[in-house]
Amino acid sequence: MDRNRKIYIAGHKGMVGSAIWRALEEKGYSNLIGKSSKELDLKNQVAVKEFFKNEKPEVVIDAAARVGGILANNTYPYQFLMENMQIQNNLINTSLQADVEKFIFLGSSCIYPKLAPQPLKEEYLLTGPLEPTNEWYAVAKITGVKACEAIRKQFGKDYISLMPTNLYGPFDNFDLKTSHVLPAMIRKFHDAKQNGNTPVELWGSGTPMREFLYVEDLAEAVVFALENEFQDNLYNVGTGTDLTIKQLAELIQKIVGHSGELKWDSSKPDGTPRKLMDVSKMDKAGWKAKTSLEEGIQKTYGWFLENQENFKEVKI
């Protein structure tokens, strides 16, 4: 890949997009384009078309999405479905019309059926019902995957989809109303520690198992996908290892230094029992994650401590 190729990163201000931007800059890519949501509303088809007409990107990386945890998905199902479809449809279709040569679509492991066999293989897509607590977001992302697959099939273009497992890292969302489980735990344990090691209450039973990927590892996977031609349209990106939510809580509690009580509210939903990715396709392609969970959480908590006065609060 030519380092001067014009690359547009949609969502470059978010946790994922900013990590991709940093990874590309470190590799010597010098022609990167990014627009904030205030500068370019990706839900606006006319505005997106005008942007592509003026900027003429040669490569597009779609890291833009409305994201959130169980509470946000349950509370705002329409926004999670419609806004994500609007964003990705505008980007994918305009890229096709503008003859963009390479498109990398980023989704989520929640696209797979709730009770699919573990670990999750790419071929399990659309083989069973989704997890109800995030099906709106999942359905939107599935349409993006299938749109890229259809373009690949019909037009022979290098449009691929990368499905990361649960992500965390610098610039994460630590707002307790809308954040995912790992950053929410960091925030909860930190606040409780500051308040004299008060008890921390967490949702569910603590028994579901989850896999987590440090966002800078995902960024490296995106750069790898950019610089290589993949044979298929869909690839899982993760570590291939998981742990229970209870084990995660105890690890974060240790790293944060909270010594109070840990309580589980079993009246709250657990979500999918297990979501472990089969990452053998990416492994075979030549890429592996390198950051351990403990190292990644330590880095993330360090970032949180340095930025806690102005970290991202999400407004719905």
The answer on whether 292 is annotated among ligand-binding residues is no
- 296 annotated to a ligand binding site: no
Report d(CA 214, CA 295) in Å as an integer: 9
pLDDT confidence bin for 187, thresholds 50/70/90? very high
Q: Where are the alpha helices (DSSP H) in 63-108?
A: 70-75, 77-97
51 within domain boundaries? yes
What's the rounded mean pLDDT across residues 163-171?
A: 95
139 occurs within a structural domain: yes
Sheet holding 234-237, edge to edge: 32-33, 7-10, 59-62, 102-106, 158-164, 234-237
Active site residues: 137
286 annotated ligand binder: no
Cis before residue 117, ω within 30 degrees of 0? no
Q: Is the pLDDT of residue 315 over 70?
A: no
Q: What angle do CA 174, 9, 50 make, to 5 degrees?
A: 120
Q: Is 107 annotated as a binding residue?
A: yes
Q: Is residue 150 part of a domain?
A: yes
Of 251, 2, 182, nearest to 102 by C-alpha is: 2
Burial class (CB within 10 angstroms; exposed 0-12, middle 13-18, buried 19+) of 17: buried
**Annotation-wise, does 106 bind a ligand?**
yes
Q: Pairing between strand 166-168 and 212-214?
A: parallel
Q: Is the pLDDT of residue 45 over 80?
A: yes
166 marked among binding-site residues: yes
40 has binding-site annotation: no
Cβ atoms of 285 and 234 within 8 Å: the answer is no
| Segment 200-215 mean pLDDT | 96
Q: Does a structural domain hold residue 30? A: yes
Quote the pLDDT of residue 92.
98
- Dig out the tokens for 130 from the structure: 């989704």
What CATH number did the domain enclosing 282 receive? 3.40.50.720
**What pLDDT shows up at residue 316?**
37
Calpha distance 293→306 (Å, rounded): 20
For the CA atoms of 245, 69, 73, 268, what is the dihedral angle to 10 degrees? Answer: 40
Residue 270 marked as a ligand binder: yes
Across residues 167-171, what is the average pLDDT? 94
Domain interval for residue 53: 7-307
**Tens digit of pLDDT for each residue in 16-41?**
999 999 999 999 999 999 999 999 99
Instruction: Tell me whether residue 314 is in a domain.
Output: no
Distance between CA 272 and CA 74 in Å, rounded? 14
pLDDT in tens, 51-103: 999 999 999 999 999 877 777 788 899 999 999 999 999 999 999 999 999 99
Total count of domains within the chain: 1
Q: What are the beta bridge partners of residue 25?
A: none
- Is 141 assigned a ligand-binding role in the annotation? yes
Residue 1 domain flag: no
In a domain, 2, yes or no: no
Residue 267 marked as a ligand binder = no
Residue 285 lies in a domain: yes
Beta strand 59-62 with 7-10: parallel, antiparallel or unpaired? parallel
What element of type H or E holds 184? Answer: helix 181-194
Rounded-to-integer distance, Cα 220 and Cα 65, Å:
20
Detail the DSSP E strand segments found in the chain: 7-10, 32-33, 59-62, 102-106, 158-164, 166-168, 200-203, 209-210, 212-214, 234-237, 243-244, 262-265, 274-275
**Per-residue pLDDT band at 314 (split at 50, 70, 90):** very low
